Amino acid sequence: MGKLDRRRREILELVASNSFMTIDSLADHFSVTPQTIRRDINEMAEEGLIARYHGGAASVSTTENTAYQDRQVLNLGSKREIAKLVAEHIPEGASLFINIGTTNEEVAHALLGHKSLKIITNNLHVAEICAANQGFEVIIAGGVVRQRDFGVIGEATIDFINQFKVDYAIIGISGVDEDGSLMDFDYREVRVARAIISNARQTFLCTDASKFGRRAMVRLGHLSEIDALFTDRHPGPVWSDVIREADVSVYTAN
C-alpha cells in the first residue's frame, strides 16, 4: 500500500470521526501542502466517499433515521438542564434503572461524569452512551426493539428486569393528567416501566413541564408512586395540590 492510499484512508477516518475537517488542518496533520489535500478530497468526493465543501470536507451522512434525530433536538436545552440536575442527585456507586425517552438519554450523558455506576436499561441509546465510561457496568434488557425510539419492550424484557433490584429508577413519561396520573402511549412500555418502578428503592420522574396536561392513553401509575420530580419549571398551579398530596419532592432546573 502506497503512502497516498494510507493518507487518504486516514483522511476518511478523520473526516468520519470529526464530521468536518478543514483543508488546512488536514495539511498540517500530514505535513503536506493544502494542494495535495485538495487533490485527495476532490477525488474522494467524486467517488462519493466524502462530501466536499468550500474550505474542507465533511462525512457523507450514512444515517438512516433522521426523523428520530430531528425529534431528539427538540427542547434540547431544557432536557440538558433537567439531566444535569438529576445527575447531581445520583450518588457515586449507585445502581440504576433508566427507561425510554430522549430526556433519559440526556440523563445518561450527564451521568458520564460519575466514576462508577451500575446501569440497567431498556433503551439502546442509553446503553450505548453509558458504555463509553469504563467505570460503568451497563446491562441491556433483552427483547423486541421498538422502531420509534429504540426502546426494548415485551414479556422477555419484564422477566429480565425482574431479576434486579436497584437504588434508583429514572423514568420518563409521555403525559401527566390533572389528577396526577402518569400516562403513556404504549401498554407494553408501560408494563416495563411498572416492573422498573417496583424493583427500585426510589423513583425519579424526569420530564419537562410541557408533558403536564398532555394526553396519552395508557395509565402507567400515579405521582404518589414517585419520590422526586425533576423538571425545567414548575408545571403550574393546577398540579400544586396533587403534587403536595402525593408527597413528591420537586426539583426545577433554572
Partner DNA sequence: CGGTAAATTTTCGTTACCGATCAAAATGCG
Partner DNA sequence: CGCATTTTGATCGGTAACGAAAATTTACCG
Task: Give the binding range for DNA (CB under 7 A) out of 21-29, 86-94, 161-169, 184-192.
Answer: 21-29
Report helix, strand or coil for 30: helix
- Contact pattern for DNA over residues 221 through 240, marking x by CB under 7 A: --------------------
* Shortest distance, position 59 Cβ to its own copies, whole Å: 6
* Shortest distance, position 30 Cβ to DNA, whole Å: 8
Look at residue 224 and give the partner it binds from its own copies, DNA, none, a contact being a CB closer than 5 to 8 Å depending on partner kind.
none
Task: Give the binding range for DNA (CB under 7 A) out of 26-34, 68-76, 126-134, 172-180.
Answer: 26-34
- Range 163-167 contact pairs with CB under 8 angstroms and sequence separation of 24 or more: 164/95, 164/97, 164/120, 164/139, 164/199, 165/199, 165/200, 165/201, 166/94, 166/95, 166/96, 166/97, 166/118, 166/120, 166/199, 166/200, 166/201, 167/94, 167/95, 167/96, 167/200, 167/201, 167/202
- Contact pattern for its own copies over residues 163 through 202, marking x by CB under 8 A: x---------------------------------------
Kindly tell me which of 132 and 238 has the beta carbon lying closer to its own copies.
132
Contact 234, 196 (CB under 8 A): no
The size of the interface with its own copies (CB under 8 A), counted in residues, is: 56
